């Protein structure tokens, strides 16, 4: 398709699409275009028809084997019928039918589970729909990207995903990641100029990019989906299902401060100008003002805050009708706080911005740590406009801003900055910072017409305007209250053995009080600085080992070797990294990973992205997080609630525990299933467990094992340290020993006791059974003698055998019943855990009913070679089941009594 | 099963697994010589005594029959508290059985010079007309309900009815299919009643209650004239009112199946 949109003049382009750069499309036109072109989305690859998916489950590898088995059974039966006519035995027919029933039942089960899972997964996708900020009918509105139509005017900020193929009308420092389209790994700069005929090369086009994330694995285990669904209910969206399990074994959580630990609901709290700290008045009618609203220092500061600010109110009338503080804004939270503050005190901010048009802008980035914009000044004084037509306004990290200034605006005059002012600045900065407030510095400069006459072409790429020797205006500090649930959540993490590290772009002075409040540095631990202050000695005299907590500045971190970082992480349980760049966040994550920890990185900003990718699991904030964050993250906290992570960890651990329990349960039936065959082959004892009964045991085992997935967490789940992924694996030696050792043995013993008893009761004493296999199995021996010299035909002893097998089967099922109950917990008493797992309870009842049906229903049992068993032969199994319960309760009791003791080391799996 | 009686099985009669499918115990029926537990084929070359390569001689069959009959010789039945049951009603015998006594099966009925089924004549194997031994399985406490009049008899026996029949379990062998029947020209039976046209087991030998030295009654089937070099499927059935026949290949009771190939 040929595109010439990038070659057209802007005016022609507007005409072509019937749009206007200021007002955008009208709603009716947009609707028309939408109806014409359809949604703005890539046509998704054709989804497979349901019946094909169904067949997948019916004819998978394993199912295929069963089908072949069934067909072979039918063929054999066919031969038998042809050869022996009505005398043919129907065993093969029944086995074939049983196999087919099993394939169909399990196939349908997995198909429905899969369909359910993919429905859940699909619903996840629609939970965080990508949105685009556009102008329609002259108003800024957020819409879903699919609703975009040709001609819409789109605004994009840092970290946004390009929502469609767009022509750039106006841009400031706009760079796009085109790696998805062209393979260029470096971000490409984009601007309104037409530079190349090639649509990919020209600078004035940017393309819809998807940053394709990995699809969900084809085989989604029920377990993970269930948990993901459970988490989604708690507003914790799992994008990558394996992430749930990873979260469970997380041992270090690195959290960005802003928006993650704090509410990201910034309000301006204090200002410093004219060398005094004043409390900001954020009341609706400015009744609390503690300063004079006409002093030049304050006016200059607020002007800077108005202009050097990209935040804007959402333009729908409903929002605008709200009180200022409750209005929703576009843009960064701290800018929104400034906006609200100045809207309250000065008013008419948007209008002011429109008259003082922005001509150039360098957006905030973490290397510069400042944001600067240049505005055409509008005042009544024409001569002033002519002499100094442009105003440069800058805000950013205070110390960086101060560095760029040569003068400071005090009481309406510019004063040269000297040590006195620097000291005053530092004191104010420290004071505000120690309140845990986020401090921004502001400065400006009127550009003279000599160097920058009216119409001067500012270029943000090759900075052709001064960024030094500016005039310092003052500080504004914002408070970002802690999220309510954070201290509790961090305490929970800590008791769960998870280290929480704060990694923030804020100044150490600001970061420390917040981390104290959040509990990242607990109340009674001290940093080196605290010790020095308390003891009244200099920092050098304090042994760094004495301090359990530390606050590391990004610059110090930069200077550290990996070994030093390792030592730092190892020696300090409580660490805050302040003033960190995205690169340093990676360093922190890498350092943690080097320690063998599983690291989760939580962040909301683009600056957290690299670290989130580097970490084992990246977690994004759903509301404050940028599109890119949500795109990259394995998990999204939809309600931005840090406490959800604790739930996530709990669920992750629960999954692991429950899988372990499931596996343990499944393994326990191995020994009792194997023993009969070993005895058959090694000792020639007639088979104590038949194929159809094994089939039944396996069927019940699978159902029961699945029911364990629904088991509730044990009480200690968040009190034990995270598992060590290297040593504490899903299946370990202790688990194998426990399941195959005592538990397997008791079950096998119960089964064998019942088997030998029934055999003996019917005349075959155990001594007679040894080595009997050959004659027993021969259809041609019709007078096999038992211990009472009675003679048994093949049919008679097969009936006896099937009766014994049924009893063995029932014994195992009853024992497995007890095993299922003991597998509910690994450490807790079952009395404490209770029987709240409804699915598991259902399975227990189902098992008994099923066994009773196959054993006592006349025709069905005979067809499956399962015969009625006298109730007294249920007793040994019932006794064993009781024994299993007691044995394991005692074991768990001793484990609880002697933590870390021999029994725990040997048997706690 | 705390203490298991060494002589009385805990489960007998209808409570035993014997009775599961049929709801009453049903005796199995067996033949000798059976030289392998893997097959029911009697195949030999009448001109050879010893086996030679692929060709089986009749020697092994004779030896097995000799061995089997040796159980019934006086030397072997020394532990038996044998009683002569001739003409004694079962009501009188039954209490004695529970005391450990059992009826003597007189092996000499086969040793009369006129009977072909004797070891001196190699059980006629060398003549190509083998004798096959039939016996009923021992089932503790099981007793037959014999036919009391001609009306109760199966159709094919009605003409043969004598009042003596009421003391006997009857036995008859036939070719299993019409083809097989075609090659069986003449069969004779040698047993206690000695009717020759039909085999019998005297009912006084049951109930079997695990008496020491108990010996099952026997019947010899003499395949007097049969086709040679051909496989003949033979089926022998025991008849009483409470013997059911299950002809299913695997689950056979009340009847026995074997094949004959005489070369």
Number of domains in chain A: 5
Is A794 in the B-facing interface, judged by CB distances under 8 Å?
yes
Is A781 in the B-facing interface, judged by CB distances under 8 Å?
yes
Is A385 in the B-facing interface, judged by CB distances under 8 Å?
no
Q: Residue A880's pLDDT is what?
A: 94
Round to whole Å and give the CA distance between A471 and A394.
10
Q: Residue A222's pLDDT is what?
A: 63
Candidate ranges A689-693, A724-728, A808-812; pick with highest mean pLDDT: A808-812
Q: Tell me the whole-structure pTM to 2 decimals.
A: 0.72
CB A92 within 8 Å of CB A83:
no
**What is the mean predicted confidence (pLDDT) over A525-554?**
82
Domains of chain B (ranges; CATH) run 13-262 (2.60.40.1660)
**Alpha-carbon torsion (B154, B158, B162, B163), positive or negative:** positive
Q: Could you check whether the bond before residue A484 is cis, i.e. omega within 30 degrees of 0? A: no
DSSP state of A823: T
CB A330 within 8 Å of CB A309:
no
A796 and B37 in contact by Cβ < 8 A? Answer: no
Which of A583, A609, A640 terminates a domain? The answer is A640
Give the pair of three-digit tokens for residue A20: 């206007």
Partners of B233 on chain A (C-beta within 8 Å) are none
Do A610 and A631 fall into the same domain?
A: yes
Partners of B102 on chain A (C-beta within 8 Å) are none
Do A783 and A795 fall into the same domain?
A: yes
Partners of B21 on chain A (C-beta within 8 Å) are 795, 799, 862
Q: Residue A862's pLDDT is what?
A: 67
Give the pair of three-digit tokens for residue A431: 């004071």
The interface predicted TM-score (ipTM) is: 0.89
Round to whole Å and give the CA distance between A313 and B17.
88
Task: Assign A409 to helix, strand or coil.
Answer: strand
Round to whole Å and give the CA distance between A883 and A746.
8
From the number of C-beta atoms within 10 Å of its C-beta (0-12, 13-18, 19+), residue B54 rates as exposed
Interface probe for A, chosen from B18, B36, B210, B255 (most Cβ of A below 10 Å), is B18
Task: Answer yes or no: is A1 within a domain.
Answer: no
Beta strand segments in chain B, E = 29-32, 41-44, 81-83, 101-103, 131-136, 168-175, 184-190, 199-202, 218-226, 231-239, 246-247, 252-253, 255-262
Q: Residue A210's pLDDT is what?
A: 42
Q: Residue A448's pLDDT is what?
A: 83
A774 to chain B nearest CA, in Å? 8
CB B202 within 8 Å of CB B146:
no
Task: Answer yes or no: is A795 within a domain.
Answer: yes
B4 and A780 in contact by Cβ < 8 A? Answer: no
**What is the mean predicted confidence (pLDDT) over A700-726?**
84
Which of A640, A659, A677 terminates a domain? The answer is A640
CA A761 centroid distance within chain: 61
Closest CA to B167 of B187, B142, B192: B192
Round to whole Å and give the CA distance between A209 and A190.
15
Residue A152's CATH number: 2.70.150.10
B31 to chain A nearest CA, in Å? 9
CA B43 centroid distance within chain: 20
State yes or no: pLDDT of A145 exceeds 60. Answer: yes
Calculated CA dihedral for residues B121, B127, B128, B130, nearest 10 degrees = -10
Question: Domain containing A769: what range?
Answer: 651-907
Do A293 and A419 fall into the same domain?
A: yes
Do A246 and A114 fall into the same domain?
A: no
A765 to chain B nearest CA, in Å? 9
Task: Answer yes or no: is A464 within a domain.
Answer: yes
Closest CA to A363 of A335, A327, A337, A343: A335
A789 and B210 in contact by Cβ < 8 A? Answer: yes
Query: Tens-of-pLDDT digits for all 263 residues of chain B?
Result: 445 677 787 777 666 766 655 567 788 888 989 888 888 899 998 888 887 776 788 888 999 999 888 888 876 667 788 888 888 888 889 999 988 888 888 888 887 767 888 888 889 998 889 999 999 888 888 889 999 988 888 888 888 888 888 889 999 999 988 999 999 999 999 888 777 888 889 988 988 888 888 888 999 999 999 999 999 999 999 999 988 887 666 677 788 889 999 98
Candidate ranges A127-141, A761-775, B8-22; pick with highest mean pLDDT: A761-775
- Mean pLDDT taken over chain A: 83
Round to whole Å and give the CA distance between A694 and A699.
8
Closest CA to A907 of A824, A819, A827: A827
Calculated CA dihedral for residues A315, A316, A322, A326, nearest 10 degrees = -60
Round to whole Å and give the CA distance between A579 and A575.
13
Task: Answer yes or no: is A699 within a domain.
Answer: yes
Do A899 and A820 fall into the same domain?
A: yes
- A167 backbone dihedrals φ, ψ, rounded to 5°: -95, 135
State yes or no: pLDDT of A577 exceeds 70. Answer: yes
Chain B positions with Cβ closer than 8 Å to A: 1, 4, 7-11, 16-18, 20-21, 28-30, 34, 36-40, 135, 137-140, 208, 210, 214, 246-253, 256
State yes or no: pLDDT of A113 exceeds 80. Answer: no
Do A159 and A30 fall into the same domain?
A: yes
For residue A220, CA distances in Å to A226, A227, A241, B244 come to 10, 12, 8, 57
Q: Residue A187's pLDDT is what?
A: 64
State yes or no: pLDDT of A220 exceeds 60. Answer: no
Q: Residue A340's pLDDT is what?
A: 87
Q: Residue A720's pLDDT is what?
A: 85
Is A803 in the B-facing interface, judged by CB distances under 8 Å?
yes
Interface of A with B in 861-890 (CB under 8 A): 862, 867
Do A458 and A532 fall into the same domain?
A: no
CB A443 within 8 Å of CB A304:
yes
Task: Answer yes or no: is A346 within a domain.
Answer: yes
B140 and A781 in contact by Cβ < 8 A? Answer: no
- For chain B, report the end-to-end CA distance as a whole number of angstroms: 53
Give the pair of three-digit tokens for residue A908: 């706690």
DSSP state of A131: E
Q: Residue A625's pLDDT is what?
A: 74
Interface of A with B in 714-773 (CB under 8 A): 757, 760-763, 765
Closest CA to A761 of B116, B223, B15: B15
Return the percent helix, strand and coil in chain A, to nearest 5.
50, 15, 35
Residue A815's CATH number: 1.20.1110.10
pLDDT by residue (tens digit) across A241-265?
778 878 888 999 998 876 678 776 7
Q: Residue A265's pLDDT is what?
A: 74
**What is the mean predicted confidence (pLDDT) over A840-850?**
90
**What is the mean predicted confidence (pLDDT) over A150-159?**
76
Task: Assign A908 to helix, strand or coil.
Answer: coil
Q: Residue A463's pLDDT is what?
A: 84
Residues contacting residue A227 through CB under 8 Å, at least 6 positions apart: A238, A244, A651, A652, A654, A655
Give Rg (Cα) of chain A: 37
Which of A426, A451, A479 terminates a domain? The answer is A479
A87 and B208 in contact by Cβ < 8 A? Answer: no
Q: Residue B243's pLDDT is what?
A: 87
Task: Answer yes or no: is A220 within a domain.
Answer: no
Q: Residue A128's pLDDT is what?
A: 60
Q: Residue A841's pLDDT is what?
A: 93
Residue A573's CATH number: 3.40.50.1000
Do A382 and A462 fall into the same domain?
A: yes
CB-CB: which of B21, B36, B248 is closest to A89?
B248
Round to whole Å and give the CA distance between B144 and A337.
105
DSSP string, B172-206: EEEESSHHHHHHEEEEEEESSS--SSSEEEEGGG-
Is A380 in the B-facing interface, judged by CB distances under 8 Å?
no
Q: Residue A433's pLDDT is what?
A: 83
Do A612 and A756 fall into the same domain?
A: no
Do A556 and A451 fall into the same domain?
A: no
Round to whole Å and give the CA distance between A609 and A626.
10
**What is the mean predicted confidence (pLDDT) over A185-199?**
71
Give the pair of three-digit tokens for residue A788: 């009472």
Give the pair of three-digit tokens for residue A156: 């994009």
Do A93 and A189 fall into the same domain?
A: no
A774 and B7 in contact by Cβ < 8 A? Answer: no
A700 to chain B nearest CA, in Å? 27
Give the pair of three-digit tokens for residue A869: 């068993």
CB A465 within 8 Å of CB A359:
no
The residue whose two tokens read 């030093």 is A564
Task: Answer yes or no: is A229 within a domain.
Answer: no
B47 to chain A nearest CA, in Å? 27
Partners of A787 on chain B (C-beta within 8 Å) are 9
Q: Residue A218's pLDDT is what?
A: 30
Do A620 and A661 fall into the same domain?
A: no
Q: What percent of chain A has pLDDT over 90?
A: 18
Partners of B9 on chain A (C-beta within 8 Å) are 761-763, 786-788, 790
- Calculate ∠ Cα A35-A39-A44, nearest 5°: 135
Q: How many CA atoms lie within 13 A of A56 on its CB side?
A: 13
The residue whose two tokens read 């270029």 is A459
Task: Answer yes or no: is A222 within a domain.
Answer: no
Is A801 in the B-facing interface, judged by CB distances under 8 Å?
no
Closest CA to A754 of A827, A699, A814: A814
């Amino acid at each position: 398709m040929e595109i010439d949109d990038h070659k057209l003049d802007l005016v022609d382009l507007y005409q072509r699409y019937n749009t206007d750069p200021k007002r955008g499309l009208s709603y009716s036109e947009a609707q028309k275009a939408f109806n014409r072109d359809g949604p703005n989305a890539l046509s998704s690859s054709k989804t497979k028809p349901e019946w094909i998916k169904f067949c997948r489950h019916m004819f998978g590898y394993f199912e295929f084997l069963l089908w072949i088995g069934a067909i072979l059974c039918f063929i054999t039966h066919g031969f038998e019928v042809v050869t022996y006519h009505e005398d043919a035995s129907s065993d093969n027919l029944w086995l074939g039918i049983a196999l087919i029933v099993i394939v169909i039942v399990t196939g349908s089960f997995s198909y429905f589970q899969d369909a359910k899972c993919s429905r859940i997964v699909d619903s996840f996708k629609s939970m965080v729909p990508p949105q685009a900020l556009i102008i329609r009918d002259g108003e800024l509105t957020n819409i879903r990207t699919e609703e975009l139509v040709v001609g819409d005017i789109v605004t994009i900020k840092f970290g946004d995903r390009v929502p469609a193929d767009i022509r750039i009308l106006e841009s400031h420092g706009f760079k796009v990641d085109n790696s998805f389209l062209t393979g260029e790994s470096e971000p490409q700069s984009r601007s309104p100029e037409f530079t190349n005929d090639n649509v990919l090369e020209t600078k004035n086009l940017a393309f819809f990019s998807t940053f394709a994330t990995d699809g969900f694995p084809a085989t989604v285990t029920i377990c993970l989906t269930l948990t993901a669904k459970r988490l989604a209910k708690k507003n914790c969206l799992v994008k990558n299902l394996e992430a749930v399990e990873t979260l469970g074994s997380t041992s270090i959580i690195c959290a960005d401060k802003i928006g993650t630990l704090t509410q990201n609901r910034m309000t301006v709290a204090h200002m410093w100008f004219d060398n005094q700290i004043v409390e900001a008045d954020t009341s609706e009618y400015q009744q609390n003002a503690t300063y004079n609203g006409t002093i030049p220092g304050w006016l200059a500061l607020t002007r800077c805050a108005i202009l050097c600010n990209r935040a804007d109110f959402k333009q729908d009338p409903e929002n605008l009708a709200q009180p200022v503080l409750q209005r929703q804004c576009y843009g960064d939270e701290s800018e929104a706080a400034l906006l609200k503050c100045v809207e309250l005190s000065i008013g008419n901010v948007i209008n002011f911005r429109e008259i003082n048009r922005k001509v150039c802008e360098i957006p905030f980035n973490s290397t510069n740590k400042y944001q600067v914009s240049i505005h055409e000044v509008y005042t009544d004084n024409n001569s002033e406009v002519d002499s100094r037509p442009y105003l440069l306004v800058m805000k950013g990290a205070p110390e960086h801003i101060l560095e760029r200034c040569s003068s400071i605006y005090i009481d309406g005059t510019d004063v040269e900055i000297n040590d006195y002012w620097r000291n005053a600045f530092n004191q104010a900065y420290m004071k505000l910072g120690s309140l845990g407030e986020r401090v921004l510095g502001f400065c400006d400069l009127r550009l003279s017409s000599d160097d920058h006459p009216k119409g001067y072409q500012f270029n943000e790429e090759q900075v052709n305007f001064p960024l030094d020797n500016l005039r310092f205006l003052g500080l504004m500090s914002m408070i970002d209250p802690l999220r309510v649930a954070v201290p509790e959540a961090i305490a929970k993490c800590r008791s769960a053995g998870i280290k929480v590290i704060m990694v923030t772009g804020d100044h150490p002075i600001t970061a420390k009080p917040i981390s104290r409040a959040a509990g990242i540095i607990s109340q009674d631990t001290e940093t080196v600085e605290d010790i020095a202050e308390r003891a009244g000695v200099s920092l050098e005299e304090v042994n760094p080992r004495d301090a359990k907590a530390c606050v590391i500045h990004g610059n110090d971190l930069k200077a550290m070797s990996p070994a030093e970082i390792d030592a730092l992480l190892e020696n300090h349980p409580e660490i805050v990294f302040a003033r960190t760049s995205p690169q340093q966040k990676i360093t922190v994550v890498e350092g943690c990973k080097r320690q063998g920890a599983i690291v989760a990185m939580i962040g909301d900003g683009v600056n957290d992205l690299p670290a989130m990718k580097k970490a084992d699991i990246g977690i994004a904030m759903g509301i404050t997080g940028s599109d890119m964050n949500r795109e990259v993250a394995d998990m999204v906290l939809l309600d931005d609630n840090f406490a959800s992570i604790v739930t996530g960890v709990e669920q992750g651990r629960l999954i692991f525990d429950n899988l372990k329990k499931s596996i343990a349960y499944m393994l326990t039936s191995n020994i009792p299933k194997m023993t009969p065959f070993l005895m058959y082959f090694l000792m020639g004892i007639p088979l104590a467990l038949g194929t159809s009964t094994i089939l039944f045991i396996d069927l019940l085992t699978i159902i029961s094992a699945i029911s364990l997935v629904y088991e509730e967490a044990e009480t200690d789940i968040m009190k034990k340290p995270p598992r060590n992924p290297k040593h504490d694996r899903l299946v370990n030696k202790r688990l194998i020993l426990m399941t195959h050792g005592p538990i397997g043995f008791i079950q096998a013993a119960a089964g064998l006791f019942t088997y030998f008893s029934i055999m003996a009761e019917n005349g075959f004493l155990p001594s007679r059974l040894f080595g009997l296999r050959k004659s027993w199995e021969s259809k041609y021996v019709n007078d096999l003698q038992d211990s009472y010299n009675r003679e048994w035909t093949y049919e008679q002893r097969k009936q006896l055998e099937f009766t014994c097998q049924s009893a063995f089967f029932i014994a195992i099922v009853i024992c497995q019943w007890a095993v299922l109950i003991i597998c509910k917990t690994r450490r807790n008493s079952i009395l404490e855990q209770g029987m709240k797992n409804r699915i598991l309870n259902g399975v227990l009842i189902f098992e008994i009913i099923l066994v009773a049906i196959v054993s006592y229903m006349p025709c069905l049992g005979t067809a499956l070679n399962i015969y009625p068993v006298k109730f007294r032969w249920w007793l040994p199994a019932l006794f064993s089941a009781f024994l299993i319960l007691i044995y394991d309760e005692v074991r768990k009791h001793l484990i609880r009594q002697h933590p870390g003791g021999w029994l725990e080391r040997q048997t706690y799996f | 099963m705390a203490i298991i009686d060494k002589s009385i099985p805990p489960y007998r009669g209808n409570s035993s697994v014997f009775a599961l499918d049929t709801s009453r115990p049903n005796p199995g029926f067996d033949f000798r010589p059976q030289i392998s537990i893997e097959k029911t084929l009697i195949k030999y070359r009448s001109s050879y005594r010893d086996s030679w390569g692929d060709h089986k001689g009749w020697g092994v069959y004779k030896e097995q029959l000799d061995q089997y009959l040796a159980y019934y010789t006086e030397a072997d039945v020394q532990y038996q508290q044998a009683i002569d049951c001739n003409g004694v009603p079962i009501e009188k015998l039954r209490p004695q059985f529970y005391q450990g006594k059992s009826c003597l099966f007189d092996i000499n009925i086969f040793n009369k010079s006129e009977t072909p089924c004797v070891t001196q004549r190699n059980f006629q194997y060398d003549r190509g007309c083998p004798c096959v031994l039939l016996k009923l399985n021992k089932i503790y406490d099981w007793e037959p309900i014999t036919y009391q009049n001609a009306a109760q008899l199966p159709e094919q026996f009605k003409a043969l009815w004598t009042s003596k029949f009421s003391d006997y379990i009857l036995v008859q062998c036939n070719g299993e299919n019409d083809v097989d029947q075609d090659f069986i020209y003449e069969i004779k039976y040698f047993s206690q009643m000695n009717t020759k046209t039909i085999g019998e087991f005297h009912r006084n030998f049951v109930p079997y209650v695990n008496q020491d030295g108990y010996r099952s009654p026997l019947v010899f089937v003499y395949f007097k004239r049969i086709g040679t070099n051909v496989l003949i499927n033979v089926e022998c059935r025991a008849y009483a009112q409470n013997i059911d026949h299950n002809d299913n290949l695997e689950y056979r009771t009340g009847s026995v199946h074997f094949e004959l190939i005489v070369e």
